[in-house]
């Protein structure tokens, strides 16, 4: 199939390819298609959840991005004939359990611990409540990435009565719900547990108290007030109670008829329990997907409270949103390190997938991550050099501004400018940020041995004999020729031209002594862009340092 044919597939042909595609979003979407065959509906609801006790984080992005990919895959499988909606649900009626570390005016917030987030004053002073402030941040966050979603507030849904019918059903099946939950709790927690958390009329606190009486016909529960000991009877509707979170999840699935929701590996047991409660309430648990958790540079689980790992703002300081989407797309069921050193590889691999897409047929394109990242229409753009190469150019020249880098780029690729290649312009800025924050502090130049000094001098002399317009291939051949001498000659290896091989020690020497780092680019390509004279000067500098 030609590129043009692959690009212009009609919906039926595209669907046929999607039905057999091994890409995980299609595998997930086919589960929803099968669900609809058993239980037909006019629309399919996808949901992602958010606890607004803190600001949106990189895991929030991952869940919404991955769910959006599955949603698009479902639309392809159904010729977009079934309406779909993505609900971003904020559990803003949850009681605030502790004061976050990263907010101003902590004393103001501390005075309202235990209240729903939408009843806690906003320490930032921009919204009526802390919950509404964080909800606004969530919406701005999702909007910045162009996600198509509907925002839902737990407080609004409870108070408006949208959950009333299901809450009454939970009251009716109270004993069955308790039978599911109680065996999972310790003795102390079991003694006080109730799926309903009353909201104190006087203080606004969400109370963790046992129920002493229930009246399913009247829709009320009765509890002893923890401060006064008096018996209080309250309705379970109109926002007078808030469900405990596992019961709340099940209640929400049932009331909204959610069809698909992802969850992290740490919530496997919660998904199972909520599913059982959902069935008791007469609902059908959504199709789901369990994704692995992110790890920090030490292999520890990333935690909002610990602040380890990488934030969304940090990633976007050093790389594009598309590279982050690629990170989220790939191997969602494998635990992955989410730290600064994964950024360059994801930037370069995104560019490689984008470049490869142009040469792929329709079937191959549906397994290419960029098809899913861009909802089937990847941009027709390219970058003439890798992010890794940009980093090495910055590192070699200690570039402090974009103009220096563009000098190298424009000399090697006449006509390539920030205006003609805006994506490259962004990556130049990303590379400078990354270099300043991570590469420069870690730079450590190794001194060469006497034998290595001699080899570097030979390389310098050989490079000086080349014409200024020598190609990257010609330069690389010179690098190899110099390396084909003891102690770097490797007789056991053979090059493509049949000549003896070169030990990796030769290239490690170039990276460690010249660039002050452990790894580097294909050296011939680097020299071609950096310039022969600049490279010779760099070698002279290294030799002078170790003289």
Binding region for ATP: 304
Residue 194's closest CA among 242, 132, 134, 133?
Answer: 242
Q: Could you tell me the CA-to-CA distances from 515 to 65, 276, 394 in Å, in that order?
A: 37, 59, 10
Residue 483, H or E segment? helix 472-483
| Residue 290 burial (10 A CB sphere; 0-12, 13-18, 19+) | middle
Q: Which residues pair with 215 in a beta bridge?
A: 220
Task: Give, in degrees to the nearest 5, the angle at Cα 257 between 251 and 263.
Answer: 70
HEC profile of 36-79: HHHCCCCEEEEEEEECCCCCCCHHHHHHHHHHHHHHHHHHHHCC
Annotated binding site: 304
How far apart CA 105 and CA 337 sit, in angstroms, is 34
How far apart CA 546 and CA 495 sit, in angstroms, is 32
DSSP labels, 208-219: ---EEEEETTTT
What is the tally of helices (H) and strands (E) in the chain?
Answer: 26, 14
3-state SS, residue 201: coil
Could you tell me how far CA 122 lies from the centroid of its own chain?
28
């Amino acid at each position: 199939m030609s590129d043009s044919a692959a690009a212009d597939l009609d919906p039926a042909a595209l669907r046929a390819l999607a039905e057999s595609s091994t890409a995980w979003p299609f595998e997930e979407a086919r589960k929803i298609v099968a669900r609809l065959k058993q239980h037909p509906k006019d629309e399919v609801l996808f949901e992602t959840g958010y606890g607004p006790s803190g600001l949106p984080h990189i895991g929030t992005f991952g869940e919404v991005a991955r769910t959006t990919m599955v949603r698009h895959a479902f639309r392809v499988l159904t010729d977009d004939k079934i309406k779909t909606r993505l609900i971003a649900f904020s559990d803003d009626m949850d009681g605030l359990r502790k004061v976050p570390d990263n907010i101003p005016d902590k004393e103001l917030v501390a005075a309202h611990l235990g209240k729903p987030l939408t009843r806690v004053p906003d320490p930032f002073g921009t919204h009526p409540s802390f919950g509404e402030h964080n909800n606004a941040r969530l919406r701005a966050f999702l909007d910045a990435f162009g996600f198509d979603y509907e925002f839902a507030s737990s407080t609004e849904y409870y108070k408006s009565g949208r959950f009333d019918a299901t809450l009454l059903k939970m009251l009716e099946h109270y004993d069955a719900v308790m039978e599911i939950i109680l065996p999972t709790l310790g003795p102390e927690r079991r003694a006080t547990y109730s799926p309903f958390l009353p909201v104190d009329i006087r203080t606004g606190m969400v109370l963790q108290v046992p129920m002493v009486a229930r009246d399913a016909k009247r829709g009320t529960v009765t509890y002893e007030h923890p401060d006064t000991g008096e018996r209080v009877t309250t309705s379970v509707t109109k926002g007078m109670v808030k469900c405990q979170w596992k019961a709340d999840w099940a209640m929400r699935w049932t009331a909204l008829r959610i069809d698909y929701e992802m969850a992290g590996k740490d919530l496997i047991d919660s998904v199972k329990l909520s599913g059982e409660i959902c069935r008791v309430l007469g609902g059908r648990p959504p199709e789901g997907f369990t994704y692995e958790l992110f790890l920090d540079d030490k292999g520890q689980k990333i935690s909002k409270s610990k602040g380890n790992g990488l934030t969304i703002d940090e990633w976007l300081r050093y790389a594009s949103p598309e590279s982050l989407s690629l990170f989220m797309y790939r191997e969602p069921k494998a635990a992955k390190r989410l730290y600064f050193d994964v950024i360059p590889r994801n930037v370069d691999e995104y560019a490689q997938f984008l470049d490869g897409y142009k040469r792929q047929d329709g079937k191959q394109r549906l397994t290419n991550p960029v098809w899913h990242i861009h909802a089937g229409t990847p941009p027709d753009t390219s970058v003439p050099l890798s992010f890794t190469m940009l980093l090495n150019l910055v590192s070699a020249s200690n570039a402090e501004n974009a103009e220096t880098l563009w000098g190298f780029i424009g000399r090697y690729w006449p006509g390539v400018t920030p205006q003609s290649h805006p994506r490259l312009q962004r990556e130049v800025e990303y590379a400078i940020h990354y270099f300043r924050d991570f590469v420069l502090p870690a730079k450590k130049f190794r001194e060469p041995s006497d034998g290595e000094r001699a080899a570097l001098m030979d390389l310098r002399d050989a490079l000086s004999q080349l014409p200024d317009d020598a190609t990257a291939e010609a330069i690389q051949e010179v690098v190899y020729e110099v390396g084909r001498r003891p102690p770097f000659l490797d007789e056991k290896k053979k090059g493509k031209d049949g000549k003896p091989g070169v030990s990796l020690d030769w290239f490690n020497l170039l990276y460690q002594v010249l660039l002050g780092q452990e790894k580097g680019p294909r050296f011939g390509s680097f020299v071609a862009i950096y310039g022969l004279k600049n490279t010779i000067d760099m070698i002279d500098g290294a030799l002078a340092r170790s003289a």
